[in-house]
Amino acid sequence: MAGIIDKMVKIIDGKGIADSLCYSLSENVKYLKKRYSVFPCLKVILVGKNPASKVYVRNKQKKAESIGISSETISLPSDISEDEIVQIIHKLNSDSSVNGILVQLPLPNHMNTNRIINVINVIKDVDGFHDENVGKLVKGEKNCLIPCTPQGALYLIKTIEQSIAGKDAVVIGRSNIVGKPMFHLLLQENCTVTILHSRSKDLAYYCSNADIVVAAVGKAHFVQSGWIKNGAIVIDVGINSREGDTRLVGDVDFEAVKTKASAITPEGGTKGSP
């Protein structure tokens, strides 16, 4: 029986979907350059030597370049002052050749992340973390920049079902980077959304009534098959490493949950890989 159900589940090909999206973006970039002489440029500010941040920044730079966006990383020492970073951002804000500014998080503990993010010109805030972009997302305004992970998760969901209005959706996790913006994006799609967190009671109850489950918890294999309604769409945002395991694992117990879901993102990758 499990074999029959396995055949029915759609494993969402995030990589293939990303490749075709990148192709169409590269065509748009070519058009911008040719038609308007606009040469998109992203500046990434990396403070300190956090190894995971270095990998993320390198990958963002490679991806930007692969679609024709020039990208430069400004690497700064961890003992740099907050005011010096603010000055650098002001310069990038007033440089008309710079279209996007991204400050890689987390910043060192002595820095006020909110202050630094809010110095970025709101139209160059490609991460969508500036208070004005967050506020617009909450109000359902269209002209804002949206954090990429939840936006990507919604994009994946819509490759499975174009219209999700009226669906019951559960988001596990309420971070500002993933969970909360995911909640608002699903709400804008007219889903009935429940957001769960570490103080929530009976996660299994809420998940088992959901047509869509997005897991952004940061705990390996946290979401179990018994929680999932037959036919649900399950999006696993989690990237977790476990002691003694070279693989990265998700927040969802993929092998078990795929026997229940109608569509699910795979887990995979190895530590330190793109």
Ligand X SMILES: NC(=O)c1ccc[n+]([C@@H]2O[C@H](COP(=O)([O-])OP(=O)(O)OC[C@H]3O[C@@H](n4cnc5c(N)ncnc54)[C@H](OP(=O)(O)O)[C@@H]3O)[C@@H](O)[C@H]2O)c1
Q: Which residues bind ligand X (CB under 6 A)?
A: 149, 172-175, 177-179, 196-200, 203, 216-219, 237-240
Least separation, in Å, of the C-beta of 172 and ligand X? 6
Kindly tell me which of 92 and 217 has the beta carbon lying closer to ligand X: 217
**Is 188 an annotated catalytic residue?**
no
**Is 95 an annotated catalytic residue?**
no
Q: Which of 43, 60, 167, 258 is catalytic?
A: 60
Kindly tell me which of 47 and 177 has the beta carbon lying closer to ligand X: 177
Least separation, in Å, of the C-beta of 264 and ligand X? 15
Q: Which of 124, 125, 127, 136 is catalytic?
A: 127
Which residues, at least 6 apart from 216, have a Cβ–Cβ distance to it below 8 Å?
149, 171, 172, 173, 175, 178, 179, 182, 237, 238, 251
Residue number closest to ligand X, CB atom:
175
Least separation, in Å, of the C-beta of 57 and ligand X? 13
Least separation, in Å, of the C-beta of 174 and ligand X? 4
**Is 127 an annotated catalytic residue?**
yes
Q: Which of 43, 61, 104, 251 is catalytic?
A: 104
* Direct distance between the N- and C-terminal alpha carbons of the chain, in angstroms, rounded to an integer: 36
- CB atoms closer than 10 angstroms to residue 196: 21
Catalytically active residues, by annotation: 60, 104, 127
